Amino acid sequence: MTATERLYLINAEICPPFANQFFLEGTGVLDAKLWRKAVEVAAAANPGSRLVLKGKLNFSRWVDSGKTPPVREVDGSSWDCMSPEGAPFLNDPLSPDGPTCEVILIHGDPLRVCIRTLHAVMDGRGTAQWMYDISRVLRGEQPIGFNSTMTEYQVAKSFQKKGRVPKPHVYIAPTGMPSGTERGFTWRRVKLNGAHYPNGLGQAALILAREAWRHADGPVRFAIPVDMRARIPNMLNNGNITNLIYIDITNHDTPESLSKNVKQQLEERRDGELYWADQLIRYMPLSMIRRALLKEIAVKNATGRYRNSGIISNMGEIPRELHVGGGFTPHDFLGIPPCVDNIPFFMGIARNSYLKVFEITISIPKVLASDGRFDAIIQRIRNEMKPGPPK
């Protein structure tokens, strides 16, 4: 296991399910027999979906179990897909002993399909790759599969030799100080009219920064996940090949300046910069990592100061036509970001040109969501995000 995978494995214990959860909403039929066969074929082409944990201590490793991820059916007729209320099945953990991935067929109006992967075995792009292949098989096509088993460390070192030094954990959260002792997280979905929001990530970052400064004075920094597969031509890999870049927010920033900042960091290949100490985690017992993370959560809850103010991921346009198959036609896409108690929030943004909407989903620890604070952020996003002219 890589250092990232070891951390994510403990995150799944501390704040389950710590999984990638992607949804397709649409019409037609969900034929469980067809889906089970498609998942079987796509999983064989993407064995990252069949991984289970073997070994102990430093000898822990992922191996292909050879077992097809399960496809289960649930009733979602009373769930609106805007929050976790009415969807208890999304809280079900994915065990490192298997299965680490699954597909849920959710019956209701609209029909929904959920692809769930334990984050310790896949990142969002790896999950999407498996999801695309399931749809290909449903259409009678051949899955594309994978062509790389490189780790994020190997990919990063292939294009960036510089490392990073960790910053002090001094960053404030958009919802202020933690309140209460309730563990776990909640989430909300926001659908904004119009698919075109210029510099949408920068707009969201400034709204969240201003909200943080309503609660306290202090520095605001957001982490931006970057898929490093783009650095290796034609790379197909189901693993965790994502690293972070960071944007520090000031009162003088604009959405345009933040977008320019992100672009400049990518041009400088800063997405390949790793923390020098990360490799030590590969040799730490999982029990030691668990104690360290629990201690960090306790400190964050006491001080309200974090390693960053949150994570914002731009998923771009999700092409609906790639997911048609088996009598099912999707019209919308949703991703619920994974969340853990020592990160103030995780936001995902995506465009849907077909429905002409801009999708935002935010996961947040319950201790930071209480007393109407989460609702206030949702309302500010609705009120302050500015669409561009229709394209």
pLDDT tens profile 168-206: 999 999 999 999 989 999 999 999 999 899 999 999 999
CB 24 within 8 A of CB 330: yes
**Helix (H), strand (E) at residue 22:** strand 19-28
**How far is 5 from 326, CA to CA, in rounded Å?**
34
pLDDT at residue 223 is higher than 70:
yes
Q: What does the pLDDT read at residue 156? A: 97
Residues 68-90 have a mean pLDDT of 97
**How far is 49 from 94, CA to CA, in rounded Å?**
12
Task: List the domains of the chain with CATH numbers.
Answer: 3-384 (3.30.559.10)
Query: Could you say which DSSP state residue 70 is in?
Result: P
3-state helix, strand, coil split of the chain in percent (to 5) is 35, 25, 40
The pTM of the full predicted model, rounded to 2 decimals, is 0.96
**How far is 330 from 139, CA to CA, in rounded Å?**
13
SS3 assignment, position 272 = helix
pLDDT at residue 210 is higher than 80:
yes
Which candidate, 158, 185, 189, 270, places its Cα nearest to that of 223?
A: 270
Q: What does the pLDDT read at residue 318? A: 83
Residues 129-141 have a mean pLDDT of 98
**Helix (H), strand (E) at residue 128:** helix 124-138
SS3 assignment, position 163 = strand
CA 65-69-73 angle, 5° bins: 160
Residue 50, number of CB atoms within 10 A of its CB: 21
> Exposure of 184 by Cβ count < 10 A (0-12 exposed, 13-18 middle, 19+ buried)?
middle
Note the Cα 330 to chain centre separation in Å: 21
Give 68's contacts (C-beta < 8 A, 6+ positions apart).
36, 39, 40, 43, 44, 50
Query: Could you say which DSSP state residue 306 is in?
Result: B
Q: How many helices (DSSP H) and strands (DSSP E) are in the chain?
A: 10, 15
How is residue 261 written in tokens? 């900042």
> Residue 170 to residues 167, 210, 305, 377, 384: CA-CA distances in angstroms?
8, 17, 5, 21, 27
Residues 348-365 have a mean pLDDT of 96
Q: What is the mean pLDDT of the chain?
A: 96
How is residue 242 written in tokens? 């994502």
Banded pLDDT at 57 (limits 50, 70, 90): low
CB 164 within 8 A of CB 170: no
Q: What does the pLDDT read at residue 284? A: 87
Q: What does the pLDDT read at residue 278? A: 80
**Residues 261-310 pLDDT 10s:** 999 999 999 999 998 778 788 888 899 999 999 999 999 999 999 999 99
**How far is 226 from 241, CA to CA, in rounded Å?**
9
Residues 73-87 have a mean pLDDT of 97
Residue type, 321: E
Residue type, 290: R
CB 366 within 8 A of CB 391: no
The percentage of the chain sitting over the pLDDT mark of 70, rounded to a whole number, equals 99
- Longest CA–CA span in the chain (Å) reads 57
CB 391 within 8 A of CB 196: yes
